[in-house]
Amino acid sequence: MATITVRGQTFSTAHLIDGQRVDDAESTFPSHNPCHWGAAPLGAVPRGDAKVATLAVDAAVRAFPGWAAMSPAERREPMHRLAALIDASLDRIAAVEASDMAMRFESLKMRVIPRAARNFRVYADMAVAYEERVWHSNTTANRVLRMPAGPAVIITPWNAPFMLSSWKVAPALAAGNTVILKPAEWSPLSACLLAEMIVEAGFPPGVFNIVHGLGHEVGDALVTDPRVRRLSFTGSPATARKIGAAGAKNIVPFTAELGGKAPLIVFDDADIDMAAKKAAGQYDDSGQSCMANTRLLVHQSVRDEFLAHFYAYTAAHVLGDAFDDATTITPLIHGDHLDRVLGFVDRAIKSGDKLLLGGKRHREGQLWIEPTLIEPQSNESEIVQNEVFGPVLSIQTFADEAEAVALANSTRYGLSAVLYTSSAARAERVGRLVRAGTVWVNCYLIRDLTAPFGGTGISGLGREGGDFALDFHSDLKTLQILEDSVS
């Protein structure tokens, strides 16, 4: 069986199907370390195909009746054991993920991976605490039951893959669905550790399966299988359209967490230093976050003051290795992605947008791009309208609240937004008017797992978080019993 050794840890890269590690791959794909681009790959991962997809769906279909028949309290047990195993392996998971995804090790270990454990605990507990809605009308008692829906396919992106997967898998399992997870091909390795932990946590075979491979191969075979009853996706709008079409063909509910082009709006009554610090923080991890606030919208009267603070904070960034504590900006994930990001910068400059900062590769042959700031010539510029997913921000000014809101709402995206203001009335007013699934005021990325999360426009479909995710993974059933007809 294929194994891989990363920072002294050796583990299997095989798929997990029906509780077994399966590795009869005729072909593989390489996993790279973005911090050492051009070096030998970290290793090879099996490249699943339609046959592997069918095996995984077979297993999830077989396991479904048993898992669905268990009570939420019974299902909670292996989920809590998995959470404990994750907590006990923070170093290990963070080291592997920092190696193939190049997010900062410390941040993964202290902040990101612990959230994965919390996701499994919180959703398992939430399903136990679910209170059926019951009401009486005329002669019947009405109850709303949450019925497990069936096997769910979960397709995830390459950024923060362990945590983002857990966020989607946990509600599916807690609701009584069986799961097939397909991690992204640019950062598949932490899912190999997850596979080990699923076995150790004692999930019944086939309840939680993981298959590796490319999106248009094994991914497509999974999402088009008519036995799958839920499709849950995080990634780009382009892929969402394909998966949504598969869902439409089979009449399968589909949820999509997609890209963003979030505004960071700075009013003239704001704490300018705090806002500038947060804006410069959008370069962390090379801006590879769907919620990165890439459009800086600043009141015209505070532009110069804001930029002075912003430049100072940006100058303090350290471009470096994911394992170096001093690093704030890790590289882009892949050479293809670097070319894509540089293409945006190049086209912006050629079209007449003004480059205020950066715009260049930091070191020849490697995947860092200097923190880049662009002043677009028009709000229609590509750099304003499309997601770059890199360390590239744009800055625009506005004259009043109405213009700030109009600019904020002028793209097709609508995942999140951040406002900086000291006025409660303005926070309430603008917070309501900005079109986004989440609006943070004077704060950022603070998330209560029970609150809904998702996007409007091309940023997504449906909501995750709390009851919203559990409802998505359930077939809600109304049970009506004629009163006094049974005893």
**Tokens, residue 96:** 């592997």
Residues 456-485 touching ligand NAD, rule: CB under 6 A, are 460
Among this protein's residues, is 290 annotated catalytic? Answer: yes
420 binds ligand NAD (CB under 6 A): no
Q: Which is nearer to ligand NAD, 290 or 384 (CB)?
A: 290
48 binds ligand NAD (CB under 6 A): no
CA distance 209 to 198: 9
CA distance 234 to 291: 13
Which residue lies nearest ligand NAD, judged by its C-beta? 215
Among this protein's residues, is 257 annotated catalytic? Answer: yes
Choice from 107, 159, 396, 421 touching ligand NAD (CB under 6 A): 159
31 binds ligand NAD (CB under 6 A): no
Catalytic residue selected from 97, 185, 217, 257: 257
Which region, judged by CB under 6 A, interacts with ligand NAD, from 130-138, 154-162, 305-313, 440-448? 154-162
Which region, judged by CB under 6 A, interacts with ligand NAD, from 83-91, 135-143, 158-166, 320-328? 158-166
CA angle, 267 then 420 then 345, to 5°: 85
Choice from 95, 387, 430, 438 touching ligand NAD (CB under 6 A): 387
Residues 6+ apart with CB under 8 A from 448: 465
Choice from 97, 185, 225, 375 touching ligand NAD (CB under 6 A): 185
Which region, judged by CB under 6 A, interacts with ligand NAD, from 130-138, 257-265, 399-407, 426-434? 257-265
Report the C-alpha dihedral over residues 468, 471, 477, 478, rounded to 10 degrees: -20
Choice from 223, 367, 418, 419 touching ligand NAD (CB under 6 A): 223
Contacts within 8 Å (CB) and 24+ apart, 376-381: 376/348, 377/351, 377/352, 377/353, 379/407, 379/410, 381/348, 381/351, 381/353
Contact 405, 430 (CB under 8 A): yes
CA angle, 7 then 9 then 15, to 5°: 120
Upper half-sphere CA count for residue 36 (Cβ side, 13 Å): 11
DSSP annotation string for 250-319: HT--EEEE-----EEEE-TTS-HHHHHHHHHGGGGGGG--TT---EEEEEGGGHHHHHHHHHHHHHT--B
State whether residue 483 is helix, strand or coil: coil
260 binds ligand NAD (CB under 6 A): yes
**Site mask for ligand NAD (CB under 6 A), range 283-302, x = bound:** -------x------------
Catalytic residue selected from 35, 97, 290, 387: 290
Residues 442-461 touching ligand NAD, rule: CB under 6 A, are 460
CA distance 37 to 26: 26
Q: Shortest Cβ distance from residue 293 to ligand NAD (Å)?
A: 13
Alpha helices in 161-209 (DSSP H): 161-174, 189-201
195 binds ligand NAD (CB under 6 A): no
For ligand NAD, how many residues bind (rule: CB under 6 A)?
Answer: 30
Contact 48, 25 (CB under 8 A): yes
Contact 107, 193 (CB under 8 A): no
Choice from 124, 243, 388, 449 touching ligand NAD (CB under 6 A): 243
257 binds ligand NAD (CB under 6 A): yes
157 binds ligand NAD (CB under 6 A): yes
Which region, judged by CB under 6 A, interacts with ligand NAD, from 61-69, 214-222, 268-276, 294-302? 214-222
239 binds ligand NAD (CB under 6 A): yes
Which region, judged by CB under 6 A, interacts with ligand NAD, from 44-52, 177-185, 372-380, 418-426? 177-185
Choice from 86, 367, 415, 417 touching ligand NAD (CB under 6 A): 415
CA distance 281 to 275: 10
CA distance 256 to 400: 34
Sign of CA dihedral 377, 338, 223, 450: negative
Which residues contribute to the site for ligand NAD (CB under 6 A)? Answer: 155-159, 164, 182, 184-185, 214-216, 219-220, 223, 234-236, 239, 242-243, 257-260, 290, 387, 389, 415, 460
Residues identified as active-site: 257, 290
